[in-house]
Amino acid sequence: MPSDLLTKVLGYTDITSEEEQFGKIIGIHAPKRRGKTLTAIMCIGYFLESFDFIKGVISNLNLTMPSNYKKPSLPLTTLKQLSSDEYRKHLINIDEIGHVQDSRMSSSFRNLFVTNILADIGKFEQILIYTSQDANQIDRRIRKNVDVIFRPSISFKTGMMKVKVIRDYDTYFRIDAFNQWRQYDVEFFFPFRQFYTWYDTKQKIEEYYITFEPKEYLEMFNKWWLDNKYNEQDIKITNGTISLWKETQGIFITQSQMKSLIEYMLRHTDLPLYRRKNK
């Protein structure tokens, strides 16, 4: 593990300091079959080896980490994992982030995903590592906040991965536009074959959607409803009531999710919804 090199590359002065790591974002880009995932796995190993405070890894890859790391690997399934005390101090790994931030995802939900990444990985003491073939897929807000970009190139003959190190996307796009990667010599190397055992190399990353879970939001709404003793008043729950809850509690859900939540309430609770008035 090239710990000394990565420490220098990532700009750490004191790798024992937890605070210096929180909110770090590492982007990894290259054409297919050039070693993006192996480079991400190497980075995961580096962080787990270097920083004891990391409690585990959340990833959309099926990871099988060596037993000596003794840290859990959890599947990335909900947006809650980016913004919950339960997942504080975890490393978030998103392979082929374009499949998560897919163009067919609603714009409001995509905004929610990006907002949570930018607002919460630092707040919840997390680290983000993502890969993508096309750097243009990455939301501009993430590009502006990235700490470092890696561009790997694999050599099966030597068994070494060569990784170019770029500090920002403006530089990345300029080098790529003029195809100056051969001349760009800010790079490091690492042996990659040891990381094949960390994940299923044949796993296909499907179009991937972070889901909306109305049950979780119902629990939050119900707590607010009871805390304010609205249940003791002869009032109905309307769209305005839901809006009052989400605005005063700082909860972001889209209009379609709000409709889904109301429908879920109607089917799974006895709450006094306005739609029940004639029943």
pLDDT in tens, 19-43: 666 778 899 999 989 999 999 999 9
pLDDT digits (tens, 9 = 90+) for 71-100: 888 887 766 666 677 888 899 999 988 766
Q: Taking the model in full, what pTM does it have?
A: 0.72
Q: Based on the domain organization, do 161 and 270 belong to the same domain? A: no
Domain assignment present for 206 = no
Q: Based on the domain organization, do 168 and 224 belong to the same domain? A: no
Q: Based on the domain organization, do 150 and 108 belong to the same domain? A: yes
Beta bridge partners of 199: 63
pLDDT of 213 reads 74
- The residue type of 148 is V
Q: Structural domain tally of the chain?
A: 2
pLDDT digits (tens, 9 = 90+) for 235-273: 999 999 999 998 887 676 777 788 889 999 999 999 999
> Is-contact 50 91, C-beta < 8 A?
no
Give me Rg for the CA atoms of the chain. 22
Q: Where are the beta strands (DSSP E) in the chain?
A: 25-29, 56-59, 73-75, 90-94, 127-132, 148-155, 160-166, 187-191
Q: Based on the domain organization, do 229 and 188 belong to the same domain? A: no
Pick the last residue of a domain from 198, 224, 241: 198
Here the CATH number for the domain that contains residue 182 is: 3.40.50.300
> Is-contact 92 224, C-beta < 8 A?
no
233 Cβ contact list (under 8 Å, min separation 6): none
Domain assignment present for 207 = no
pLDDT of 1 reads 45
Average pLDDT value for residue range 1-16: 55
Q: Based on the domain organization, do 183 and 228 belong to the same domain? A: no
Tokens coding 127: 């680290």
Domain assignment present for 105 = yes
> Which strands make up the sheet holding 56-59, listed edge to edge?
73-75, 56-59, 90-94, 127-132, 25-29, 148-155, 160-166, 187-191
> Is-contact 237 272, C-beta < 8 A?
yes
Pick the last residue of a domain from 198, 230, 257: 198
Pick the last residue of a domain from 137, 172, 198: 198
Q: Based on the domain organization, do 57 and 162 belong to the same domain? A: yes
DSSP-assigned letter for residue 97:
G
252 Cβ contact list (under 8 Å, min separation 6): 112, 115, 246
Structural domain of 247: 214-276
Beta bridge partners of 124: none
